[in-house]
């Protein structure tokens, strides 16, 4: 089986995500994704672009194991997902941070509890992470809202809280689905800079977005999805400072 050389962004030895001829459909519908082959190396930063309905969210779902391919093989951190033991899947998910399109914050928990959730799930003791969570929330500008419940937060604050929850466990891969869709341009840039900072710390970033302006100004490569197929687009200019 040959992989599309255009869409290969990593060496086989160190890729964190690899798709081999992956297709996906919902029920008996047509393929949403068709024969995708690509891989992502650790520490890379990519945008995922494409028109509405192109399958960006579906592709992300395949990576964070919320959906299954109808064909092809997906490898995460070197593990063949289809043949991984069911018990291994939660462990793989913990290595991936996700900023969901609809954020999926838990309304019955405070901002601090929401941000600390992945650490609690991984079994860490509160004494081990309390200070780290507080520091992270300060870093994303929510230091004054730690005890606020999500329904009382503004759109941008919710976005940043979702990002804090996605990165608190220091994931190896961060997936963000339209993280700037509900914020103004200035907030979008602030969020983008957050991702850049995380990327500098070594996290592989993949951001699905409609914001072509942001992609163009970022100086980052993008994967463009259209008609169920993927194409690599090189950086369109120098990176934002």
Partner 1 sequence: MSEMFDPARWRPAPFLPAQETRDGALVFVVAVLCFLACVTALGVIAADRAASGWTRQLSAEATVIVRPRPGETPDSAAAKAAEALAGVNGVTEARALEPQKAYDLVRPWLGDVADVEDLPVPRLVAVSLDARAPATAHALETALKAQGLDAIVDDHSLWLKDVRRSAGVARGMGTVVFLLIAGAAAAVIAFATRAGLAAQRDVVEVLHLTGAEDSFIARLFQLRFARVAAVAGLIGAGGAILSGAILRLLGGSQGLTPALPIAWADLVAVLPCPLLAAAVAAIAARLTAGALIREMQ
**Residues of the shown chain interacting with partner 1 in the complex, contacts defined by CB under 8 A:** 64, 66, 86-87, 90-91, 93-94, 98, 100, 104, 106, 108-110, 112-113, 116-118, 120-122, 126, 130-131, 133-134, 144, 146-147, 165, 169
Q: Which is nearer to partner 1, 122 or 212 (CB)?
A: 122
Quote the longest CA-to-CA distance of the chain: 53
CB of 81 to partner 1, least distance (A): 13
CB of 65 to partner 1, least distance (A): 8
d(CA 182, CA 67): 25
Q: Which is nearer to partner 1, 29 or 86 (CB)?
A: 86
HSE, CB side, 13 Å, CA atoms: give it for residue 237.
9
Q: Which is nearer to partner 1, 13 or 127 (CB)?
A: 127
Angle between helices 126-139 and 155-167 (to 10 degrees): 140
Q: Which is nearer to partner 1, 68 or 212 (CB)?
A: 68
d(CA 52, CA 66): 20
Nearest Cα neighbor of 220 from 22, 78, 44 is 44
d(CA 14, CA 85): 22
Pairing state of beta strands 204-208 and 45-49? parallel
CB of 105 to partner 1, least distance (A): 8
Q: Which is nearer to partner 1, 23 or 110 (CB)?
A: 110
Q: Which is nearer to partner 1, 170 or 233 (CB)?
A: 170
CB of 93 to partner 1, least distance (A): 4
- Kindly list the strands in the beta sheet with 71-76, ordered across the sheet, starting from the edge strand earlier in the chain: 8-9, 31-40, 17-25, 71-76, 79-80
HSE, CB side, 13 Å, CA atoms: give it for residue 64.
22
């Amino acid at each position: 089986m040959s992989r599309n050389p255009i869409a290969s962004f990593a060496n086989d030895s160190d890729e964190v995500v690899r798709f081999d001829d992956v297709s996906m459909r919902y029920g008996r519908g047509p393929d949403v994704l068709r024969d995708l082959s690509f891989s992502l190396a650790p520490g890379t930063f990519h945008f995922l672009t494409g028109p509405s309905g192109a399958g960006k969210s579906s592709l992300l779902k395949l990576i964070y194991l919320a959906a299954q391919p109808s064909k092809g093989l997906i490898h995460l951190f070197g593990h063949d997902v289809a043949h991984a033991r069911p018990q291994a899947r939660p462990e793989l998910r913990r290595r991936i941070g996700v900023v969901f399109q609809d954020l999926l914050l838990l309304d019955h928990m405070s901002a601090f509890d929401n941000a600390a959730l992945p650490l609690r799930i991984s079994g860490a003791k509160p004494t081990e992470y309390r200070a780290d969570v507080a520091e992270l929330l300060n870093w994303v500008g929510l230091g004054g809202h730690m005890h606020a419940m999500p329904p009382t937060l503004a759109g941008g604050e919710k976005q940043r809280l979702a990002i804090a929850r996605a990165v608190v466990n220091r994931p190896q891969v961060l997936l963000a689905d339209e993280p700037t869709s509900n914020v103004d341009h200035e907030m979008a840039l602030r969020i983008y800079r957050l991702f850049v900072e995380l990327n500098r710390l070594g996290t592989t970033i993949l951001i699905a977005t409609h914001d072509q302006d942001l992609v163009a100004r970022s100086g980052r490569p993008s994967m463009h999805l259209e008609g169920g197929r993927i194409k690599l687009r090189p950086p369109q200019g120098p990176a934002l400072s």
